[in-house]
Amino acid sequence: MAIHLYKTSTPSTRNGAVDSQVKSNPRNNLIYGQHHCGKGRNARGIITVRHRGGGHKRLYRKIDFRRNTKDIYGRIVTIEYDPNRNAYICLIHYGDGEKRYILHPRGAILEIPLFLVQKFL
């Protein structure tokens, strides 16, 4: 896992670093675009609230927070950066062929098998 350090050419690139293992495109069936309302415009399209709007289109990833698959082996295939929640996420392939995103557990690496057990409280 190599870390790319930027040369300082502008103040914004000072002390910048990028992890090289997170270069992968998100899966199409696990992402969706969200419609952003108005951006400070009314029904006629006139700006009514200043300093709103613009920005880059973002794709939202469907994250499995429940992890309700019971007693199934899975493995981490990719580690990606999710710009919407400022965190890393993992794509997991389960033994039954299902694919899901989860939040990246600290210390987890690629291609390690995970055994998910559902906890009953």
Distances, alpha carbon 119 to alpha carbons 59, 106, 116, in Å: 31, 20, 9
Q: Where are the domains of the chain?
A: 25-116
> In terms of pLDDT, which residue wins out, 120 or 76?
76
Q: Is the pTM of this model over 0.85?
A: no
Strands, DSSP E only, in 41-85?
59-61, 72-82
Interatomic CA distance for residues 64 and 93, integer angstroms: 13
> According to CATH, what is the number of the domain 25-116?
2.40.50.140
What's the chain's length in residues? 121
pLDDT category at 120 given cuts 50, 70, 90 is: very low
